[in-house]
Amino acid sequence: MQQLDFAELDEDGRLVVVADDGTRYAVPVDDRLRAALRPRRPAPADGGQAPAASPREVQAMIRAGRTVEEVAEATGWDPERVRRFEGPVLAEREHVVGLARAAHVRAQGRTDGTHTLERRVRERLEARGVPVSATSWDAARSEGHGPWTVLVAFTAGGRERRAAWHYDVQDRSIEALDDEARWLSEDEQALPGGLVGHPLLGTSHSEDETADLMATIRERRQARGRRPRRAEADRGGDAREPGAAGHADEVLPLENLPEPVDGSADPLPPAAHPRGSAPESPAPVHPPGDE
């Protein structure tokens, strides 16, 4: 076999090698060559054969947020082969993002069905001067069947920022994982450290106070209405156990991912300015996976 030495890369990106007699040869750099040059995974310490990654494991890695190149390096697969399994998982991640953005969040201490995560985040970001077009959403899930991690990335104050939530597909619940996510999505009454976003649905501060006053009056009226029942129970009367007549809303498990609710057609109210400052950027979250 003749020995060839590497000389250079030509203008077309090919490897130029030279024989002992000075003859030059050009070798195209394609996926086969890259795969051959890629370091192989070390063999197990006991000398046994390293187990080959299954398609399920490859899709779990993609579902966890890894790129094609990272999966190929970790498994020894050819990148083109990995890409054949990438499409369905990326579609799944995009679908979960849509479900999470349509999830309802609390407004003024209750869930009224009109405030979605997407709407709340949009209002809060617009108040910080961040256009919707400057945001990017993604979802990932670590290997197993835990909750999905939904991420939104944006630039504010000259810095790249990221907010993360846990999203449970079964009960469609959202849980903020960092201060940035709490500031973007939670009710004003629940924001950490006294941080306040802006009045929801365009309500003024005086209207908020009126709503709080009415809620207090209703609670006191209900408390007065419950006192005779307790007294009757003490006298041996036929008092009913509080809450026995009502039934909690039942949440059925979902076998398949539900379709997101499209709330984009509803016009948004004018965004007010935040009454507090936004938190510092949290650390990036990298997540999740299975077929």
Q: pLDDT for 98-117, tens place per residue?
A: 999 999 988 765 555 578 99
Which residue type sits at 202?
Answer: G
Cα 56 to Cα 116: distance, rounded to the nearest angstrom = 33
Cα–Cα nearest to 291, from 76, 58, 48: 58
pLDDT digits (tens, 9 = 90+) for 206-252: 444 445 555 556 665 665 555 554 444 444 444 443 333 333 333 33
The arithmetic mean of pLDDT across residues 269-289, rounded, is 46
Instruction: Write the DSSP string, 138-152.
Output: EEE--SSS--EEEEE
What does pTM read for this prediction?
0.50
User: Residue 55 carries which side chain, given as an amino acid letter?
Assistant: P
d(CA 77, CA 29): 18
Spell out the domain ranges in the chain.
94-222+257-291
Assess contact for 195 and 279: CB atoms under 8 A: yes
Residue 140 has a pLDDT of: 94
- Dihedrals φ, ψ of 99, to 5°? -65, -45
* Residue reference for tokens 């997407």: 118
**Mean pLDDT, rounded, of the chain:** 71
Residue 270: per-residue pLDDT? 42
Question: In whole angstroms, what is the distance from residue 118 CA to residue 123 CA?
Answer: 9
> Which value, to the nearest 10 degrees, does the dihedral of the CA atoms of residues 271, 275, 277, 282 take?
-60
What's the pLDDT at 8?
Answer: 81
Place of tokens 């369905």: 88
Structure tokens at 13: 């990106």
Q: How confident is the model at residue 85 (pLDDT cuts 50, 70, 90)?
A: very high
Q: Are 149 and 165 in contact (CB under 8 A)?
A: yes
User: Which of the four pLDDT bands, split at 50, 70 and 90, describes residue 47?
Assistant: very low
More confident residue, 28 or 284: 28
The residues near 118 (Cβ < 8 Å, ≥ 6 apart) are: 101, 102, 263, 264
Q: Do the beta carbons of residue 213 and residue 128 sit within 8 Å?
A: no
pLDDT of 203 = 33
* Residues 82, 72 contacting (CB under 8 angstroms): yes
**Contact (CB, 8 A) for 167 and 174:** yes
Cα 168 to Cα 20, 41, 141: the distances in Å are 65, 35, 11
Query: 40-44, 148-152, 220-224: which has the minimum mean pLDDT?
Result: 40-44
Helix, strand or coil, per DSSP, at residue 6:
strand
pLDDT confidence band for 18 (50 / 70 / 90): confident
Arithmetic mean of pLDDT, 18-33: 83
Give the residue-averaged pLDDT of 131-139. Answer: 93
